[in-house]
Structure 1
């Protein structure tokens, strides 16, 4: 049903004695280190059947999970970043990541339907520079907001990011204000914006559009925060609460409206769109 995420990283089983095992036959869970048969992982919606760890999805897999078949219409697909600051080897890295992910940038935007309900959707991809937000990511998301305003459609953004893209310096940080300003116009018109936080959502993305949703949902176990827990601990010198910055912790403290299992996310989004429409 879905292609294996991150095909360029080959997980080779080391605890099995069988020889000549084809590549990608087994996947190692990042949480419990169990070896999972690829087909079993696919059938379990990329959730570890042994420890319930949520594997990251690429943007197109996320769209397949969320949007009705044959209804997704991508826009701004050809937009790509340039090395404006002449950052060393940035251009080469962009080309390499683009080739490996088959994407031009770290977010995919388009129109789609969820059980017949029309919407504009933006899906970030953590396999492209860890979903970092540069000038093009900010522009694509801003234009998604503007298209939502023009068509008077609900907006859904799936966030996953390591934060601002350091290779673009201040150009990257400016995107926080630009996207937030567009969302303010969106909000003033009474339109619906649903923000969905996936693992991980950090840095400038968290500090801007990810936390500005009218309704904020999250996947179980997702890391959500600004600075990482290790940085906060080193800076403050205090022990952090157990589960600090997890989706469940943020829900308990009022920052997230609901933690929704992956298998139920599409149904939840449909219910919200249906209620808003009525």
Structure 2
């Protein structure tokens, strides 16, 4: 009997151990046999999504519609006509004008991780057959922060759009100004705004597309200056953060504050467009623009 008792104790201990392992969840299971990048977890509904299936939905969750971040190259691929893109100024890159500690190393790591020299890709191509100038900010590159090199790339794209009279489409994604470049970074707000004013004077269309997140100096300059402003669902669009504003005004802000839907409700954006409909929406805008003869405005 004593032998059986000890045996049962060992069984109970084993069952308890298995129960503890189950309680720990997937983290307790060995993960060495799962290829990295095979599965993604939706940050909104928590669904586990196969990467290839996610790509079929343009990196949006098929269950809840959550929009995953998209890098600049993919954004261009899903927006423009195939093989129509010609890149502007691919060699422009940031330097370290203020000798900011650790900044060169941060730049190097961002370049290696993204394959980009700077956090924006600009160029021209066609969308549904219509020639356009396009700029796409990449949030993977130091959170899409705007330094002097990025500002220069975007300003040159704006100037080319004005010169060629091609509609300009900018996809924004930024945490704001790049603090490592100080006042030189803040100057890009004025430079890009002036370039857009010249575009406006020539009657050239500018469509600003807000993606998550668009904040700080970018939201306070060119992102808010579009003739038409579109936004992806749930995209954060605002200047200062929620916590700073609440501490300043000493009031609780709405749960959806600064989201695309909140900004639509308050007149800051013209339309919230799902990523799957973005290309068709832009194509419709360009057709209307061309039919009314605005592309040839003097």
Do both share a fold (TM > 0.5)?
yes
The equivalent residue for 1:186 is 199
Structure of higher CA gyration radius = 2
| Secondary structure of the structure 1 residue equivalent to 2:131 | strand
State how 1:215-254 maps to structure 2 within 5 Å. Answer: 215-254=228-267
1:106 to 119, 122, 145: 119
| 2:211 is the alignment partner of 1:198 | yes
1:14 to 10, 13, 27: 27
Q: What secondary structure sits across from 1:14 in the alignment?
A: helix
Q: Which of 163, 173, 177 is the matching residue for 1:164?
A: 177
Distance 1:171 1:182 in 2: 17
Unaligned runs of 5+ in 1: 1-12
Equivalent-residue separation in structure 2 for 1:166 and 1:19 (angstroms)? 39
Using the TM superposition, give the Cα deviation of residue 36 of structure 1 relative to its aligned residue in structure 2, in angstroms.
1.5
Match of 1:75 among 88, 98, 101: 88
Aligned to 1:271: 284
The reply to whether residue 261 of structure 1 matches residue 257 of structure 2 is no
Structure 2: which 5+ runs fail to align?
A: 1-25, 292-298
Please give the per-residue CA displacement for 1:163-222, whole angstroms capped at 9, x wherever unaligned: 000000000000000000010011011110000000000000000000000000000010
Note the C-alpha offset of 1:226: 0.2
Residue 85 of structure 1 is matched in structure 2 by 98
What is the CA–CA distance in structure 2 between the aligned matches of 1:209 and 1:200, rounded to whole Å?
15
Cα distance between partner residues in 1 of 2:191 and 2:31: 54
Offset of 1:18 from its aligned partner? 7.2
Q: 1:252 to 1:73 in 2, by over 3 A?
A: same
Give, in whole Å, the separation in 1 of the partners of 2:234 and 2:28.
27
User: 4+ runs of 1 displaced by more than 3 Å?
Assistant: 13-19
Counterpart Cα distance in 2 of 1:121 and 1:186: 14
Q: What is the aligned-residue RMSD (CA, Å)?
A: 1.3
SS in 1 for 2:68: coil
1:143 to 149, 152, 156: 156
Deviations 1:72-105 (Å, cap 9, x if unpaired)? 0001001000000000010011011101100000
Q: CA shift at 1:19, angstroms?
A: 6.0
Between the aligned partners of 2:32 and 2:173, the Cα distance in structure 1 is 37
The answer as to 2:73 corresponding to 1:60 is yes
Q: Structure 1 81/242 Cα, relative in aligned 2: closer, same or farther at 3 Å?
A: same
Instruction: Report how far residue 235 of structure 1 moved.
Output: 2.0
Deviation at 1:48?
A: 1.5
Provide the C-alpha distance between the structure 2 equivalents of 1:17 and 1:91, rounded to a whole number of angstroms.
Answer: 38
More helix by share: 2
Report the secondary structure of 2:160's partner residue.
Answer: helix
Figure out how many residues of one structure are paired with residues of the other and give that number. 266
Q: Distance in 1 between matches of 2:64 and 2:41?
A: 12
Judged with a 3 Å threshold, the aligned counterparts in structure 2 of structure 1 residues 272 and 85 are, in CA distance, closer, same or farther, namely: same
Report whether the alignment pairs 1:212 with 2:210.
no
Tell me if the contact between 2:57 and 2:276 (Cα under 8 Å) persists in the aligned partners.
no
1:236 offset after TM fit, Å? 1.6
Residue 133 in structure 1 maps to residue 139 in structure 2 = no
